[in-house]
Amino acid sequence: MRTAHFGRRAAAVGLVAWLGLAAPASASAAGFSTCIDSLKGQVVAQGVSADLAARALNGARYDEEVLRKARAQPEFKTPIWDYLGFLVDEQRIADGRTMMARYDRVLRAAEERFGVNRYVIAAIWGVESNFGQDAGDNYLPHALANLVCGGVRTKFFRGELVAALKLVDRGDLELNELYGSWAGAFGQTQFIPSTYQRLAVDFDGDGRRDLVKSVPDALGSTANYLHKAGWRKGESWMIEVKVPPGYNGPTGRRNKASLSSWGQRGVTRADGAPISGGAQAGLLLPAGPKGPGFLVFRNFDAIYSYNQAESYALAISHLADRLAGYPAFRTAWPTDDPPLSRAQRFELQRLLLAQGYDVGEVDGKIGPQSRAAIKAAEERFGMKPTGRPGGKIYRALGGR
């Protein structure tokens, strides 16, 4: 999910919050070429070949767009059901089953070697790059150079630039393959370069770690990531549960207790069946006690570490379950305005456009322009203006 990615893993996740605290010194187009010259020297000093540094950074232009994205504040809090509706829709489940069949041998080999469940590996692949279809189109050396020269987490992004170029120097990738998100996540698994350097594996045995073109390398590397993040072979990651009405007991991923003690607190499986046993799990109630509840295990934490967001880990966990043939959540989300799938988001934009609202590009991505159009349409129908791509406005516009 491109919009959710301020960069692969750990260090990049706090980016938006950080930017809110310290507005970086504005990079001017004038100072940019001086900065690039100096940056070339710095990456060479850190071990990148001079020829490669020149090829990567010659021709870099000041890019207002990258800096605008880096400085953007999230203006809209996505409800958990919209986030999941987008990431775990029927199309992604169907695509996932197709891709899992095509790469069955590779997925089983990765499961065997790293002990990580293959449905989870496939779910991450599906969410990160839509099974290799959408890995980002920003040229990394230039995007990262703009972040460095724009004063955005200079040290961090300079380190990522160095790591990216070292991948080229050591022969894993070609320079012209370094395309990804504006914040440096790239390839089919959307690793940032330092993570790539640390955890990517050559799983097809050709001597290179190619997470851009090689599906086996990408899937093997995701398995290795989860293995290193503490994945426990054969254990579960999440089960849907129900809590007693008005439950106000402990919650939280880190607040782990045995299944038996959750059972004593009145927590049951989603179908009402009792739970018991010694396995340690934490209770998540992402929409409060009236929505679906989840007991999450140590393996959920490994998934969490991939993107440091519980909503993300929930999406991966659920997509993995759906790919494995388990049903949708048993308990409904506490909303009367259900989320839209990706296909419905496209259709919503088409309907808005057809009825005279300016949504910008019809791309299925609900950005500021689409939100403004949704608000205007909601007002016309006498609905509360939320700007949210939900089922109510979709149906009001004629969507099915």
Can residue 206 be called a binding residue for Ca ion (CB under 5 A)? yes
> According to CB under 5 A, which one of 151, 175, 202, 270 is a site residue for Ca ion?
202
Query: What is the spatial distance between Cα 383 and Cα 344, in angstroms, rounded to a whole number?
Result: 20
Report whether 135 contacts 212 (CB < 8 A): yes
> Which of 61, 108 has the CB closer to Ca ion?
108
Report whether 180 contacts 187 (CB < 8 A): yes
Q: Phi and psi at residue 94, in whole multiples of 5°?
A: -65, -45
Tell me whether residue 378 is one of the annotated catalytic residues: no
> Which of 217, 301 has the CB closer to Ca ion?
217
Query: What is the spatial distance between Cα 315 and Cα 183, in angstroms, rounded to a whole number?
Result: 22
Query: What is the spatial distance between Cα 389 and Cα 107, in angstroms, rounded to a whole number?
Result: 35
Closest distance of CB 204 from Ca ion, Å: 4
Query: What is the spatial distance between Cα 233 and Cα 236, in angstroms, rounded to a whole number?
Result: 9
> Which of 128, 204 has the CB closer to Ca ion?
204
> Which of 209, 256 has the CB closer to Ca ion?
209
> Which of 213, 350 has the CB closer to Ca ion?
213
What is the full DSSP assignment across 103-158?
A: THHHHHHHHHHH---HHHHHHHHHHHHTTTT----EEHHHHHHHHHHTTSSHHHHH
Q: For 181-331, where are the E strands, in sequence order?
A: 238-242, 252-258, 268-269, 280-284, 293-296
Closest distance of CB 192 from Ca ion, Å: 19
Q: Is 338 exposed, middle or buried (0-12, 13-18, 19+ CB in 10 A)?
A: middle
Stretch that binds Ca ion, among 7-15, 54-62, 210-218, 347-355 (CB under 5 A): 210-218
Select which of 64, 65, 111, 128 is catalytic. Answer: 128
Stretch that binds Ca ion, among 42-50, 59-67, 202-210, 322-330 (CB under 5 A): 202-210
Assign residue 182 a region: left if phi > 0, alpha if psi is -120 to 50, beta otherwise? alpha
> Which of 95, 169 has the CB closer to Ca ion?
169
Number of other residues whose CB lies within 10 A of the CB of residue 289: 16
DSSP summary character for residue 187: T
Stretch that binds Ca ion, among 5-13, 70-78, 84-92, 200-208 (CB under 5 A): 200-208
Closest distance of CB 222 from Ca ion, Å: 14
Report whether 154 contacts 148 (CB < 8 A): yes
> Which of 53, 218 has the CB closer to Ca ion?
218
Report whether 282 contacts 252 (CB < 8 A): yes
Closest distance of CB 181 from Ca ion, Å: 22
> Which of 144, 218 has the CB closer to Ca ion?
218
Can residue 204 be called a binding residue for Ca ion (CB under 5 A)? yes
Closest distance of CB 201 from Ca ion, Å: 8
DSSP summary character for residue 7: S
Query: What is the spatial distance between Cα 356 and Cα 373, in angstroms, rounded to a whole number?
Result: 9
**Residues near Ca ion (CB under 5 A), total:** 7
Query: What is the spatial distance between Cα 372 and Cα 81, in angstroms, rounded to a whole number?
Result: 21
Q: Binders of Ca ion among 296-335, rule CB under 5 A? A: none
Closest distance of CB 179 from Ca ion, Å: 18
Closest distance of CB 5 from Ca ion, Å: 24
Closest distance of CB 214 from Ca ion, Å: 5
Q: Which amino acid is at 9?
A: R
Query: What is the spatial distance between Cα 299 and Cα 239, in angstroms, rounded to a whole number?
Result: 12
Q: Binders of Ca ion among 212-251, rule CB under 5 A? A: 214, 217
* Residue ranges in contact with Ca ion by CB under 5 A: 202, 204, 206, 208, 210, 214, 217
**Residues classed as catalytic:** 128
